[in-house]
Chains A and B, each alone.
Chain A
Amino acid sequence: MYGFEALTFNVHGGYLEAIVRGYHSGLLTAADYNNLCQCETLDDIKMHLSATEYGSYLQNEPSPLHTTTIVEKCTLKLVDEYKHMLTQATEPLSTFLEYITYGHMIDNVVLIVTGTLHERDVQELLEKCHPLGMFDSIATLAVAQNMRELYRLVLVDTPLAPYFSECITSEDLDDMNIEIMRNTLYKAYLEDFYRFCQKLGGATAEIMSDLLAFEADRRAVNISINSIGTELTRDDRRKLYSNFGLLYPYGHEELAVCEDIDQVRAAMEKYPPYQSIFTKLSYGESQMLDKAFYEEEVKRLCLAFEQQFHYGVFFAYMRLREQEIRNLMWISECVAQNQKSRVHDSVVFIF
């Protein structure tokens, strides 16, 4: 019953919620980002980061550092925290935590399949996979020739199996089909996650519905913009949109027929929450759209921490940490390539 979670939530989830809030307080602040943006070299970045929570992860790295090393160690910290929480969680929190990583699993699957298509070495690809999305038989993905084999050989044993029913075809895997496969899988995953949260009920359902709806709408806009000018038909495009969210169903109908960015903007400006995002961009510009979406997402994720006794804080923490890693990667790249003037283009402050 919504409103009475406080009576029973702490039996199973109280300890972990307190732990995730402790992790949340360790996220980098605006002052930290200002310090990092003023660094001249990657070693300066390492020195600044050693004063934060990342200290123990970076201190043993030899110079010269690479940006990929920094990102890798920061991701390792996230994975350690996630595993710590997952081992202590009981049902249904453990299922909820696992759901958070299915998105990464999908990305890893697509990465390996695309890499194999372009004849890359499997070991090299495995190193590039996101550690949160690893599963046991991931290396055998390189063997599959088409989607049916992919499913039958590898994916039927993974948690992604139920998402494949919509996209099993006998077509060979090529770039276009792989992107369609990625988006179809992600659509099925989002809908499944949404249903699971609705089943949990209470504050979790309400907060997660809002966060997942924003995610679904953002993906719909990105799919529309990226498929302008490609050979993806309107019907195919509409099939990739999730069936929940603010834009469902009328916004999706308008987005499906858009042919350029200004039409997308016109379709989105009818929805007040997204109107504020699109008014920040001047006409014809779409590079800042990603940053505007990230800012809106971070704002909503921070609001999830305002309420106690629900699972949304776990999802919000993982996403905020991923945003922080993206920020660190951008700052490191700008510093490494000596383009510090562009550093503030893509850093989203969390605190």
Chain B
Amino acid sequence: MVSSSSSWSQALVQISPYTFAAIGIALSIGVSVLGAAWGIYITGSSLIGAAIKAPRITSKNLISVIFCEAVAIYGVIVAIILQTKLESVPSSKMYDPESLRAGYAIFASGIIVGFANLVCGLCVGIIGSSCALSDAQNSSLFVKILVIEIFGSALGLFGVIVGIIMSAQATWPSGA
């Protein structure tokens, strides 16, 4: 372990890699669910108001809510995958570079997935709200705006893919 002159970098490398990994797992599920919930309330409030004048829009526009919900499911899946990557290492090897690398990889994977899902949930929620309002006025617009939502929900998928790739190479040093 290279000791550098900055006391911050010395402090950071003293933090246990388990901490980083656990925070990563927490972020991946917590922030994804934040994004999903935010998107659902944005869509839901507009959908309820618009459905008073145009009740036919309710069943079709639940797709927007489902897209937002999918974002939360991505977060859960990645969190479960990440927690299976968390292994114990003997305390002599706790601060080996390999172990730090594994801890940081899981942390980064959690951040990637969490924040990608946060903005994806927001994006799908805002588009879903506009979709409900325009569908209430002109039903031919629904399918066209749905295409925009599909592109938006692909953002969450990108985050999940990169997150899983990051965490795949998180190998802890074997105990010996």
A interface residues, Cβ below 8 angstroms from B: 6-7, 10-11, 14-19, 21-23, 25-26, 308
Number of interface residues of B (CB under 8 A): 20
CB A314 to nearest CB in B, in angstroms, measures 13
Stretch at the interface among B19-27, B93-101, B126-134, B159-167: B126-134
Closest to B130 in A: A308
Which residues of chain B have a CB within 8 Å of any CB of chain A?
38, 41-42, 45-50, 52-54, 122, 126, 129-130, 132-133, 136-137
A-B contact pairs, 5 of them (CB 8 A): A6-B129, A7-B38, A10-B129, A18-B49, A22-B49
Asked if residues A14 and B42 are in contact (CB atoms below 8 Å), the reply is yes
Q: Please give 15 more A-B residue pairs, beta carbons under 8 A apart, in addition to A11-B45, A21-B133, A25-B54.
A: A10-B41, A10-B129, A14-B129, A15-B48, A16-B49, A17-B46, A18-B46, A18-B47, A18-B50, A19-B49, A19-B50, A19-B52, A21-B137, A22-B136, A25-B137
Asked whether A10 lies within 8 Å of B45 as measured between CB atoms, the reply is yes
Assembly CA distance A250 to B61 (angstroms): 52
Summed over the interface, the residue pairs from A and B with CB atoms below 8 Å come to a total of 61
- Say which residue of A18, A22, A25 sits within 8 Å of B45 (CB atoms): A18
Are the CB atoms of B133 and A6 closer together than 8 Å?
no
Complex: chain B residue closest to A25, CB-CB: B137
A14 and B45 contact, CB distance less than 8 A: yes
| A305 nearest CB across to chain B (Å) | 10
Evaluate contact between B46 and A10: CB separation under 8 angstroms: yes
In the bound complex, residues from chain A placing their C-beta under 8 Å from that of B38 are 7
Contact between B45 and A15, CB atoms less than 8 A apart: yes
- Complex CA gap A286/B107 in Å reads 73
- Which of A11, A14, A19, A21 has the largest count of B CB atoms less than 10 A from its CB? A14
Are B41 and A18 closer than 8 Å at their CB atoms? Answer: no
B38 CB to nearest A CB, Å: 8
Interface of B is mostly: helix
Q: How far is the CA of A18 from the CA of B34 in the complex (A)?
A: 24
Choose among A15, A22, A308 the residue that contacts B53 (Cβ–Cβ < 8 A). Answer: A22
CA distance A26 to B136 in the complex (A): 11
Chain A residues with Cβ below 8 Å from B42 are 6-7, 10, 14
Contacts of A10 in B (CB 8 A): 41-42, 45-46, 129
In Å, the complex CA distance between A333 and B59 comes to 45
User: Which of B46, B54, B122 meets A14, CB within 8 Å?
Assistant: B46
Is the CB–CB distance between B49 and A15 below 8 Å? yes
The 9 closest A-B pairs by CB, nearest first: A18-B49, A22-B53, A14-B45, A18-B50, A15-B49, A10-B45, A6-B126, A19-B49, A18-B46
Q: What residues of A have a CB within 8 angstroms of the CB of B48 in the complex?
A: 15, 18
Taking CB as reference atom, which chain A residue is nearest B50? Answer: A18
- Enumerate chain A residues within 8 angstroms of B50, measured Cβ to Cβ: 18-19, 21-22
> Measured between alpha carbons, how far is A18 from B48 in the docked complex, in Å?
8
CB A40 to nearest CB in B, in angstroms, measures 32
Cα distance A21–B132 in the bound complex, in angstroms: 11
Cβ of B41: which chain A residues have Cβ within 8 Å of it?
Answer: 10-11, 14
B122 touches A21 (CB 8 A): no
Residue numbers in B under 8 Å from A16 (CB-CB): 49
CB-CB under 8 A from B126, the residues of chain A are 6-7
Residue of A nearest to B123 (CB): A6
Min CB distance A302 to B, Å, is 13
Q: How far is the CB of A5 from chain B (nearest CB, A)?
A: 10
State whether A25 and B49 are in contact (beta carbons under 8 Å apart), knowing that A10-B41, A18-B133 are contacts in the complex: no
Look across to chain A and name the residue whose beta carbon is closest to the beta carbon of B132.
A18
A contact residues around B133 at 8 Å (CB): 18, 21, 308
For A7, the chain B residues whose CB sits under 8 A away are 38, 42, 122, 126
CB proximity of A312 to chain B, nearest CB, Å: 15
In chain A, what residue has the closest Cβ to B122?
A7
- Interface-centre pick from B38, B42, B52, B136 (highest chain A CB count, 10 A): B42
Q: Which residue of B lies closest to A18 (CB)?
A: B49
A73 to B124, CA, bound (A): 42
